[in-house]
Amino acid sequence: MIIAADSQALRDRLNALRVDNATVGFVPTMGNLHAGHLSLIEQARSVADVVVVSIFVNPMQFAAHEDLDTYPRTLEADLSALREVKADLVFTPSTSDIYPHGSENETTIHVPILGEALCGKERPGHFDGVCTVVYKLFQLVKPDVAIFGEKDLQQLLIIKKMTRDLALPIDIQSGATRRAADGLALSSRNQYLTPDQRAIAPLLWQTLQHCADRLTKTPADEVALMLATARNKIAQAGFSLDYLELRSLATLTTVSDTSVDCALFVAARLGHTRLIDNIQICAR
């Protein structure tokens, strides 16, 4: 496994790996890798000849009050895990390499509509930071395929739109959410949870499953009440709820039934830990 610590080393190493029209699969990460990340890398291995993984904690997607300084950084453990799954090249750039003039002075990429709902509303500027760094990484790696997890479904939809709108020749593929045995979606932030909070956290997934099942049996004019009841249940369990909403997958606009492909999206906090999850629902 090759480790490239800056952009020039990445270019040099990639040029050496791109022989005989080898295809490149790319998985961008912020490190602190878990089984969910590793499943994306294994998926990339199944569809590409060369697998590149980036580890970069992107300051542009964190607001001033968020956890940039305390976000877990576990580079040595991450590299060990990547050797196990046979990543070919790991890109570990510095902030100054990605943002030589400072992230606050960078041109940013904004995806309208999709980037302004849900987490885009709750975390203004977050997806601008995500899109900007992903675009920069795409330009450096120039992958044929890039894999993103479905746990952050809004992010996946936004990256797909950005790629289409900017005519980037990259196949964006999705990887299924990996979960703990009790259903909690795997996330680097789960380690922030206290034992009591960790015991409560699976309620988010349980609520999504319950609502998705009921949606197939609930008239459209009763969906709002059903979701309001679910929100109350989540709040009473101890969560501070940002949202629980049924949204179209095409536009992320609110819908009241499953006549279009849609998903239930949830974001809620336990203490200082913000958890997100979703469940997709095919049109009926």
In angstroms, rounded to a whole number, what is the distance separating the alpha carbons of residues 58 and 130? Answer: 8
- Confirm if 141 and 114 have CB atoms less than 8 A apart: no
Query: Which of 34, 37, 65, 101 does the annotation list as catalytic?
Result: 37
- Three-state SS for 20-56 is CCCCEEEEEECCCCCHHHHHHHHHHHHHCCEEEEEEC
101 has catalytic annotation: no
Joined tokens for residue 216: 């197939």
CB atoms within 10 A of CB 182: 12
Backbone Cα Rg of the chain: 19
Token digits for 278? 């979703």
Per DSSP bridges, beta strands 145-149 and 171-175 are parallel
Q: Give the residue numbers annotated as catalytic, written as ranges.
A: 37
